[in-house]
Amino acid sequence: MNKILLKDLSFYFEGKKVLNSVNLEVLKNEILAIIGPAGSGKTTLLRLINRLEDATYNTKKEGDIFVDDKDIYSVDINVPELRRRIGMVFAQPVPLPRSIYENIIYGPRLAGIIYKKKLDELVEHSLRQAFLWDEVKDRLNQSALSLSGGQKQRLCIARTLALQPEVILLDEPCSSLDPISTAKIEEAMLRLKEKYTIIIVTNNTKQAARVADKVAFLLMGELIEYGQSRQVFTIPVDKRTDDYITGRFG
C-alpha cells in the first residue's frame, strides 16, 4: 500500500520550472532516498509534501500529491495537522532559540498536549530515538544553541519525532556532519523505519545505498530513475544515473 504518491507533479518558481512531471510512490515503512545534483529540485519536492511552499509568492503547482490516498492540496486539508503527520527536518539544523526541552515540546504543545508528564515522556522518548538522550539528558534546560552541529541536527530530528508523525522528510540531514554523527543518524533511521515512512534527500550516494530501500534520481527537476536501491546502484537503467553515481558527472 502506498503511503505517498506524487502524480505528474510539476512546480514553478516565478515561471521557472523546477520540477517536471514527477511520478513517484513511497510505500509504508519504506525508506526512499532522493539523490541528484545541486539545484535539481530535491528540497522543493520535500517542501511540497509538507506544503511549505504555500507561502511563497509567484509559484505554480501542477499535478497532485496524495498521502494515504488523500490529496493534500485539497481545500478541506488542515495544513498544520498535515504537517504534524508529515515531519520535516531541514538541511540546516535550526534550533529554536530556547532550551533543548522547549525545542522538543514546541510542536506537541501547539498540538494541545499540556500534561507535563506526557511531555516529559515525549522528550525522553524522541531524544532516545534520535540517539541524543545520553548526551543531553543532564542539560535539557540549556539553550539548544549551545549544542554542536551534529547534536543540533539530531535535536531537530527528535523535535520532529516528538510530533509522532507518520512520515519523516529528511533534507540532507548529514551534509554538515562528521562520520560519527552521520553513523548515528543512519542508525536512527534504520531503527525508525519500523514505525515510519521516510524520505531522505542526500548527496551521499553511499549513504543512500546503506539506508534506502528505494532510490530516486532527480536531474534538473526530472525523475530520471526510480527503483530498488540495489538495482539503481548496480545496474542503473539510465546512463545519466550511472554517470552521477560513479562521479563522472558534468
Partner 1 sequence: MSINQNIIEKIVKIFLWIFTIITIFILFYIVGFILKNGIGGLSKEFFMEFPKSMGREGGIFPIIIGTILLTLAAVFIAGPLGIGTAVYLTEYTRENRITQMIRFGADCLAGIPSIVFGLFGFVLFVIKLKMGWSIISGGLTLSIMILPTIIRTSEEAIKAVPKPLREVSYSLGGTKWQTIVFIVIPQALPGILTGIILSIGRCVGETAAVIFTAGSSLRLPNSLFDSVRTMSVHFYILSREGISLKNAYATASVLIISIGMINFLSYWIMHRFIRRIEGK
Ligand X SMILES: Nc1ncnc2c1ncn2[C@@H]1O[C@H](COP(=O)(O)OP(=O)(O)OP(=O)(O)O)[C@@H](O)[C@H]1O
Q: In terms of CB distance, is 109 or 210 closer to partner 1?
A: 109
Strand residue runs (E) in the chain? 2-13, 16-27, 31-35, 59-67, 70-71, 86-89, 167-171, 197-201, 214-219, 222-228
Among the residue ranges 11-19, 40-48, 61-69, 209-217, the one whose residues contact Mg ion (CB under 5 A): 40-48
Residues found near partner 1 in the complex (CB under 8 A): 50, 52, 55, 57, 80-81, 83-84, 87-88, 90, 92, 94, 96-97, 106-107, 110-111, 145, 156, 159-160, 163
Q: In terms of CB distance, is 44 or 241 closer to partner 1?
A: 44
Residues binding ligand X: number (CB under 6 A) = 13
43: contact with Mg ion by CB under 5 A:
yes
Residue 7: CB atoms within 10 A of its CB come to 15
Q: In terms of CB distance, is 13 or 66 closer to ligand X?
A: 13
Distance (Å) of CA 108 to CA 52, 96, 169, 225, 245: 19, 14, 18, 37, 40
CB 159 within 8 A of CB 6: no
Q: In terms of CB distance, is 42 or 136 closer to Mg ion?
A: 42
Q: Tell me the one-letter amino acid at 64.
A: D
Looking only at residues 155 through 214 of this chain, which bind ligand X when binding is defined by CB under 6 A?
203
Backbone dihedral angles phi then psi of residue 235, each to the nearest 5 degrees: -130, 75
For Mg ion, the binding residues (CB under 5 A) are 43
